Amino acid sequence: MNATTAPRSRIATLDIVRGVAVMGILAMNIVAFSMPIEAYVNPAAFGMETSADFMAWLGSFVFIEGKMRGLFSFLFGASMLLVIQRAEAAGESARLVHLRRMGWLLAFGLLHYYLIWFGDILFSYAVIGMVAWLFRNLESEDLIKWAFWLILAQFAMMALTAWSFFEMREAATAPGASVELMGQWSAMKAEFAVPTATRLAETLALYRGDYAGIFQDRAVENGTFPIVGLVFFGSETLAYMLLGMAALESGFLKGEWSGRAYRRTAIIGFAIGVPAYAGLAWLLVADNYSVPMVVATVMAATVVFRPAMIYAIAAFIIILTRRGGALIDRIAAAGRAAFTNYLGTSLVMTTLFYGYGFGLYGTMGRAELWLIVVAMWAVMLLWSKPWLDRYRYGPFEWLWRTLARGTPQPMRKRAAI
Measured CA to CA, the distance from residue 364 to residue 52 in angstroms comes to 12
The CA distance from 142 to 82, in Å, is 18
Q: How far is CA 313 from CA 18, 82, 127, 367, in A?
A: 12, 22, 26, 22
| 55-60-64 Cα angle (round to 5) | 160
First-to-last C-alpha distance (Å) of the chain: 22
Q: What is the DSSP letter of 361?
A: T
Contact, 363 vs 356, CB < 8 A? no
Q: Where are the domains of the chain?
A: 12-405
Residues 6+ apart with CB under 8 A from 376: 26, 345, 348, 349
Distance CA 199, CA 190 (A): 9
Query: If DSSP codes are grouped into helix, strand and coil, which group holds residue 273?
Result: helix
Q: Structure pTM?
A: 0.94
3-state SS of the chain: helix, strand, coil percent to 5?
75, 0, 25
In angstroms, the CA 118 to CA 245 distance is 28
Q: pLDDT in tens for each of the 417 residues of the chain?
A: 333 333 456 899 999 999 999 999 999 999 999 999 999 999 999 999 999 999 999 999 999 999 999 999 999 999 999 999 999 999 999 999 999 999 999 999 999 999 999 999 999 999 999 999 999 999 999 999 999 999 999 999 999 999 999 999 999 999 989 999 999 999 999 989 999 999 999 999 999 999 999 999 999 999 999 999 999 999 999 999 999 999 999 999 999 999 999 999 999 999 999 999 999 999 999 999 999 999 999 999 999 999 999 999 999 999 999 989 999 999 999 999 999 999 999 999 999 999 999 999 999 999 999 999 999 999 999 999 999 999 999 999 999 999 999 999 999 987 544
373 and 26 Cβ atoms separated by less than 8 Å:
yes
Q: Where are the beta strands (DSSP E) in 203-295?
A: none
Q: Do 333 and 19 form a contact (C-beta atoms < 8 A)?
A: yes
**Which DSSP string do the residues of 288-311 spell out, in sequence order?**
TT-HHHHIIIIIIIHHHHHHHHHH
* Alpha carbons 56 and 49: distance in angstroms, whole number: 11
Q: Residue 100, Cβ neighbours under 10 Å: how many?
A: 16
- What pLDDT is recorded for position 417? 44
* Per-residue pLDDT tens digits for 351-378: 999 999 999 999 999 999 999 999 999 9
Q: Cβ(393)–Cβ(409) under 8 Å?
A: yes
What is the average pLDDT score of the chain?
95
- Classify 270 as helix, strand or coil: helix
Q: Give, in order, the Cα–Cα distances in Å from 197 to each of 202, 204, 249.
A: 9, 11, 52
Find out whether 14 and 79 touch, Cβ atoms under 8 Å: yes
Amino acid at 289: Y
| Neighbouring residues of 17: CB distance < 8 A, sequence distance ≥ 6 | 71, 75, 253, 314, 317, 318, 335
Quote the DSSP letter at residue 364: -
SS3 412: strand
Residue 362: count of CB within 10 angstroms of its CB:
17
Contact between 109 and 126 under an 8 Å Cβ cutoff? The reply is yes
- 8 Å CB contact between 125 and 237: yes
Measured CA to CA, the distance from residue 307 to residue 33 in angstroms comes to 25
